[in-house]
Amino acid sequence: MVRIAIDYFKDLFRSTSMRDGKHLLSGIQPCIFENLNEELTIEFKAKEIMEAVKSVAPLKALDDSILFGEANAEESNTMKVVVSK
């Protein structure tokens, strides 16, 4: 009985290549339509970032790791330049 359970879960989580996964998504209705997706994925400008950051109330004693989260060094430096203007 234990062997059956072990084999079941091994097979359940085994990685196998799928040829086409489109059928898995066929019953899911999109909730973000193309026009909204285009708006959400456009490039943003430094000025827009500056306006957004400066519109937020000041935060107390945040260091870079909290303020910039998972941003890489280049992104952090860009944000520092924008915010300091």
How many domains is the chain built from? 1
CA distances (Å), 31 to each of 35, 37, 42, in order? 12, 10, 18
pLDDT score of 61: 46
Asked, for residue 81, whether it belongs to a domain, the answer is yes
pLDDT, block means (10 residues), the chain with 85 residues? 87 74 81 89 86 73 54 68 64
pLDDT score of 67: 58
pLDDT score of 64: 55
Asked, for residue 54, whether it belongs to a domain, the answer is yes
Asked, for residue 76, whether it belongs to a domain, the answer is yes
Residues of the domain holding 71: 45-85
Asked, for residue 38, whether it belongs to a domain, the answer is no
Asked, for residue 68, whether it belongs to a domain, the answer is yes
